[in-house]
Amino acid sequence: MRVIGRAMNVNRLQHNYSIHFLSLFDEGILNQQFKELRLLQDENNPTFLFDVVSLFTENARTSINEIRSYCNQPATDYMRIKALLLRLKGSSQS
């Protein structure tokens, strides 16, 4: 009986997972590029998507901290801030 209960829980989780991802696509948070990244993940590289997202968030955090640092300086280097913003924008598109 427990095996059936666990299977039902797994099915429910998979269903909720699918609904959640559909809502993220509907809201424009995720796009076709995310779908393509998911296709690159397989049994040989089961953490591929996690690794890509982790790398992006770490790089984004670093860029945002650098931008914040430049904004807090008395003599603001707007060209450097622009370059950092463009780098952040570019990393979110690739």
Q: Are residues 59 and 22 in the same domain?
A: no
Residues 49, 26: one domain? no
Answering whether pTM is above 0.75, one says no
**Total of domains in the chain:** 2
Which residue, 16, 91, 10, 17, is CA-closest to 57? 91
47 and 23, same structural domain? Answer: no
The boundaries of the domain holding residue 21 are: 1-30
What per-residue confidence (pLDDT) applies to 91? 82
Report d(CA 19, CA 15) in Å as an integer: 6
Single-letter amino acid code for the residue at 14: Q
* CA dist list (Å): 5 to 2, 12, 15, 37, 71: 5, 11, 15, 32, 55
Task: Please check whether residues 48 and 80 belong to one and the same domain.
Answer: yes
The reply to whether 26 and 61 lie within a common domain is no
| Sites in the chain below the pLDDT cut of 50 | 1
37/93 Cα distance (integer angstroms): 13
| 55 in any annotated domain | yes
Q: Please list, in sequence order, all residues whose beta carbon lies within 8 angstroms of the beta carbon of residue 80, skipping any fewer than 6 positions away.
A: 70
What pLDDT does residue 69 have? 93
Same domain, 93 and 50: yes
